[in-house]
Chain A
Amino acid sequence: NAGVTQTPKFQVLKTGQSMTLQCAQDMNHEYMSWYRQDPGMGLRLIHYSVGAGITDQGEVPNGYNVSRSTTEDFPLRLLSAAPSQTSVYFCASSPGANEQYFGPGTRLTVT
């Protein structure tokens, strides 16, 4: 299994641009989540999904959209990038109420 994969690894955007961060898992996990991590801080939940076709907001959802059309994929869309969205983004999946498996992260800089 490849586990949880994220693309791209690095991205630089200009203010106002949009883009999609990709996340995929090959473990047939129901739960998938997106977190962001700012320097010196813990991870904060952006959006999550409990299964295909079902998504909901976490604690910091503003400026982000998600969709879950398949079990495997959970893309995160930045609608209009802002410097405050400069962060490291982690995608995670879990087989229900168990340990979560994290991807390697996407490092995003918005100038």
Chain B
Amino acid sequence: DAKTTQPTSMDCAEGRAANLPCNHSTISGNEYVYWYRQIHSQGPQYIIHGLKNNETNEMASLIITEDRKSSTLILPHATLRDTAVYYCIVRDRYGGATNKLIFGTGTLLAVQP
């Protein structure tokens, strides 16, 4: 699975859009980009995933560059409850035999009132 690089931390004002970047320059053609988040003391929560097209669901939007070497997770109207560590994970669609996720250290998003 390709390696990802994320900023250690970011701040965002409540009500504004939060844009979380992720670099994955070694991504291969069959690898998807997944985003999870972990609110303090809770289990990780799936947010969204995509291959090459931009994706949107009720939680967020995922923008993947045309060369697929980077992506941005967008929370359109951040709230205090969105304060969490956000993990960008690149993996084969079928995850290999283990279906495992390789978590890095992620980005700590702090939403400020």
Contact = CB atoms under 8 A, between A and B. Distances in A.
Interface of A: 4, 31, 33, 40-45, 48, 50, 56, 58-59, 90, 92, 94, 96-97, 99-105
Contacts of A50: 97, 99
Contacts of B98: 33, 45, 48, 56, 58
Interface string B66-96: 0000000000000000000001000001110
A94 B43 CA distance: 14
Contacts of A44: 103
16 contacts: A4-B43, A31-B99, A33-B98, A40-B105, A41-B105, A42-B106, A45-B100, A48-B98, A58-B98, A59-B100, A97-B93, A97-B94, A97-B95, A100-B101, A101-B46, A102-B45
Contact of B99 (A94, A101, A104): A94
Interface residues of B, number: 22
Contacts of B87: 42
Nearest to B94: A97
Contacts of B99: 31, 33, 48, 50, 94, 96-97, 100
A33 B100 contact: yes
Tell me which of A41, A50, A102 has the highest count of chain B C-beta atoms within 10 A of its own C-beta: A102
A102 B38 CA distance: 10
Contacts of A96: 99
Nearest to A48: B98
A56 B43 contact: no
